[in-house]
Structure 1
Amino acid sequence: MPAGRLSVVVTRRLPEPVETRMKELFDVELRDPDRPMSRDELAEAMRRADVLVPTITDSIDAGLLAQAGDRLKLIANYGAGVDHIDVATARQRGILVSNTPGVVTEDTADMTMALILGVTRRIPAGLAMMQSGEWPGWSPMALLGGRIGGKRLGILGMGRIGQAVAKRARAFGMQIHYHNRRRLRPEVEAELEATWWESLDQMIARMDVISINCPHTPSTYHLMNARRLKLLKPSAVVVNTSRGEVIDENALTRMLRAGEIAGAGLDVYERGAEINPRLRELPNVVLLPHMGSATIEGRIEMGEKVIINIKTFADGHRPPDQVVPAML
């Protein structure tokens, strides 16, 4: 191995241009076949690597970090969310953590609008009818959905993605409302024509569509719990493209089944790939397989950010996207 080349272990397959560039720069182990590493495989990888490149499918907790040798110095996460990594314990052990913020903003906002339209305009029901060959022809009362122009959109979490959703929704004629830990600057609020609510409870009781765009942290776990979901109007729709843990999925499923909420569009789930089977059966729900950021352009940009973080670290500098516990 040439002097100075870092040993890098990547836990999942990445776009070909990203893998090729990594091979040029580092002593890299690529993942083949593309399946999540077991806990034992992750522990072994952390013992032999200078840098680990994990994804959201890798849970790196205090127990795993305790098994890491002295060699591991950087966890360069492929993705913006780091709730699957115990950042505080990593820091205590002298391991830096970086992520890839900002890359998925536009793609995720696009998918949020797709889900809003998918649920309100009953697109999956129409698609299923066409694919089954059971369409009897046009009818004035068939597959009636709702118009989104003029409706109130309540955005929970007004960071990069929340603001990108607001811009798109304004173009569709929706009225923008939001709840955030911090109120936006007046000029940003004015540009988005957004109304701030200090009280989440008061906001969601008045909205036609709720868009979840906040990260998963201890303070946002089940932020949309059974009590809050009961505040929604029966005609309201809930869309989530952030983290499944923000919604009490069992409570949401019960209310959707009972007709107490009109519909939901979900790209993320509380237990990852283990989706409540009762949720799958509901006709008023659009379920997607965590594909909000799934564009080839976005995936390559994420890889480029990972490479810059590793290269900057290798050059003896602080990775530009380093994550510290105070940020979470």
Structure 2
Amino acid sequence: MDLSRPGYFSAALWRKSLPVASFTRKLDALLPESLDTLPEALRQRIDWCCKLDAGRALPSTRLGDMKMEKRQEFYFLDLMRHAKGFGWDMRLDWRFGDVTEVPEVPALLKSRPIGEDNANSVVMPLDYLRHFKFPDDPVPLAEKRPLAVFRGRLGSVQAQPARYAAVMQLHDHPRHDVGQVNTREDLPPAKGWMTIPDQLRYRYILAPEGNDVATSLKWIMNSNSIAVTPPLEYETWFMEGRLVPGEHFIGVKPDYSDLDEKIDWAESHPEEAARINRNAKAWCAQFHDRQTENLVAALVLQKYIEATGGLAHSRIQRNLFFPAG
């Protein structure tokens, strides 16, 4: 789907106006009768997004009681898109926005810290249009400028340490083109805005995390350029926590002190650089089919409902993940 945010918003509002029964029919046809026929790769995605085991406490809030709050409209509409078929009585908790902590109760959200103790953070494809835009890139890797580039709006060092380090360490670097677009007394002089096509002229694009993940990491990995980033701390529907430095992107130290060394290595090993680029695009390919994405999202919600004891409140009466006995 290639829509502007107003177009996407209008389409989502139209879907919101449709009766629950129409969503339930589509959901009933989409969900399998058993997980036995589900490809292993999809099962792994579902279990990664929802790590919950059975016996969790039932949330008290009904889906039908959710309100669309200002500046959270896209989160609300994206969640409603996938959840409405389960019925207004579905019970859930949620956290919208850039979530960087694990909630005390199982909740549906966009982002979570990478780690073993994040089971209460159940990942859903929220604010989808912003995070899953994959623009075309007609320029082959070998024909791009062999430099690193970064442009972005910079927040505080507390909220965006990786971005802050990139700008402060590399702003005046003679080899690369790194800078922020906003003006602030504690920052170097602002540099001009660059569109995504502008940045895609470069062979290497920095993707430091912002308030949570780097939104740019997705479109960079889908392109013919190579993402360069320090160690990742957060993950979303894109499964950033499963990405491997040297396989899907070029990893650098948090202070970027080894950036030139890593770029020099990639330039002297073009076949390895091309392999990383191929792996990155293959990773992105699993998110391109909307029917598959809808299925995974539906099964993540189904597992969440079962784990929190909410089947009695769902219009879909299946027990796929924790069958009795």
TM-score (norm 2): 0.29
Query: Taking CA–CA contacts closer than 8 Å with sequence separation of 6 or more, which of the two structures ends up with the larger relative contact order?
Result: 2
For normalisation by structure 1, the TM-score amounts to 0.29
